[in-house]
Structure 1
Amino acid sequence: MSEQQTGQSGAYQAHFRVWRGDPDGGGLTDFRVEVHEGEVVLDIVHRLQATQAPDLAVRWNCKAGKCGSCSAEINGRPRLLCMTRMSVFDRAETITVTPMRGFPVVRDLVTDVSFNYAKAREIPAFVPPEELAPGEYRMQQEDVSRSQEFRKCIECFLCQDTCHVVRDHEENKSAFAGPRFLMRIAELDMHPLDAASAAGLDRKRTAQDAHGLGYCNITKCCTEVCPEGIKITDNALIPLKERAADRKYDPLVWLGSKIRRRKE
């Protein structure tokens, strides 16, 4: 690469292809744009807005990988624009930036993720134990640590986007909550202070019957794209599946539930 292409400061010209369009259609637009050392893809998108495409729509907020706003797909992989460094790509590589495929396009790189907020409202909240007042809750550190992993979720919805149950089958959306919200159910189900069962709510059963746990075939694609490194499949979905299967098919667990119910 010549000195003119790289520049004296180490800057270089990159080839970007960015999806432009709206719900009625669109396509990829080619750009040549300057890249500087240490930049992330979101920096380049902002430079495109400043120099070549002032009407380019992109959703972003913190630029620190904590708000989950700038989710998109880079070379076909769901990523956060602000956490994808330009240094991971070869300088001669064409970088394609497209909106998340799992959700309807609003405009350019912005998608309508309201599906996820609707699913969040369907998950029954934490049920506090009746015998304890606020401030009296006590938990073992081990139990705190187990659920703390899931609390790291920034709701970027990359796991929802990459899940093929949502991504490739629009007809499944009404019956499937997706990995982010099945993880929420798993978190509540393993919470030692959650009194859902005493209130008549069986989280394992509702995960299976109301939120589509059975649709998940544990391919781990959700775990692979999580920017927080949450082991969604291994630590949430598989254990929840095992508990749901025990609840439904294990004869001893089934008998125990009947005995407890009769005593109540």
Structure 2
Amino acid sequence: MAHFRVWRGDADGGGLEDFRVEVHEGEVVLDIIHRLQATQASDLAVRWNCKAGKCGSCSAEINGRPRLMCMTRMSVFDRTETVTVTPMRAFPVVRDLVTDVSFNYAKAREVPAFVPPAELGPGEYRMQQEDVNRSQEFRKCIECFLCQNTCHVVRDHEENKAAFAGPRFLMRIAELDMHPLDAAPQAGLDRKGTAQDEHGLGYCNITKCCTEVCPENIKITDNALIPLKERVADRKYDPLVWLGNKIRRRGQ
């Protein structure tokens, strides 16, 4: 038997409820939540889908740490330990463990999509394998939004949400900016400029908390955010880049 404390409530408020629940060998936290639904709390609201760590639906906070319930084994806890399950703190509660993550979809729509090169037709795209590998890491994202939830810029400062896209979508901008076939500049899109001016890259202080909670082990900070910050700084402060931009503007 395990002692569980599960947050129950809605947007108007709530609190932790205590449960004693049976645990079997090899089970994960989501199994226990399902058992609670079946035996003690039939109206407990929880979002889940694949139960295989690939859909990102069952994100929650377990003993204060943002995690996927389906990938958190009960064996990691001591038998006498109380397991506390609460909804993601950075997003509004709908009910019980279900949160409203529409903020993330709004931010996703603000990032311009990949711009295909006008001079190439379908089937003519060619990339070096090294460039494919760089982007492929970021494509592993399952959009569980744990990185968004743990980022203190979003989590602790509601007022920042309007100006800050969060690590998931800054990573998306970084991926597109390093894509050798992205024709954004030819289409009048400045990905580095918008990352800083519209999506709040400057708010990120690279604490790596987003990387620490990523269930896909994506090096969000080291491989996406820091290199993007470096490219933005080069563009803005490098004297040779500044001089080149000045000359180009004069030529126009």
TM-score > 0.5, shorter chain as reference:
yes
**TM-score, normalised relative to structure 2:** 0.98
**SS of aligned partner of 2:18:** strand
State the identity %: 90
Give the 3 Å change call, closer, same or farther, for CA 129–192 of structure 1 in structure 2.
same
User: Residue by residue, what CA displacement relative to the aligned partner does 1:123-165 show, whole Å, maximum 9, x if unpaired?
Assistant: 0110110100011000000000000000000000000000000
Distance 1:262 1:100 in 2: 51
**SS of aligned partner of 1:138:** coil
**Structure 1 residue 198: deviation in Å?**
1.2
Q: Paired residue for 1:200? A: 188
**SS of aligned partner of 1:32:** strand
**SS of aligned partner of 1:26:** strand
Distance 1:119 1:150 in 2: 17
**Structure 1 residue 253: deviation in Å?**
1.6
Q: Paired residue for 1:171? A: 159
Report whether the alignment pairs 1:72 with 2:56. Answer: no
**SS of aligned partner of 2:186:** coil
User: Residue by residue, what CA displacement relative to the aligned partner does 1:180-227 show, whole Å, maximum 9, x if unpaired?
Assistant: 000000000000000001111110000000000000000000000000
Q: Paired residue for 2:227? A: 239
**Structure 1 residue 40: deviation in Å?**
0.3
**Structure 1 residue 261: deviation in Å?**
5.7
**Structure 1 residue 238: deviation in Å?**
0.2
**TM-score, normalised relative to structure 1:** 0.94
Q: Paired residue for 2:207? A: 219
**Structure 1 residue 87: deviation in Å?**
0.5
**Structure 1 residue 257: deviation in Å?**
3.4
Give the 3 Å change call, closer, same or farther, for CA 171–241 of structure 1 in structure 2.
same
**SS of aligned partner of 1:198:** helix
User: Residue by residue, what CA displacement relative to the aligned partner does 1:202-259 show, whole Å, maximum 9, x if unpaired?
Assistant: 1000000000000000000000000000000000000000000111111112223344
**Structure 1 residue 117: deviation in Å?**
0.1
Give the 3 Å change call, closer, same or farther, for CA 132–67 of structure 1 in structure 2.
same
**Structure 1 residue 92: deviation in Å?**
0.5
Report whether the alignment pairs 1:89 with 2:77. Answer: yes
Stretches of structure 1 lacking an aligned partner (at least 5 in a row):
1-12
Distance 1:165 1:217 in 2: 9
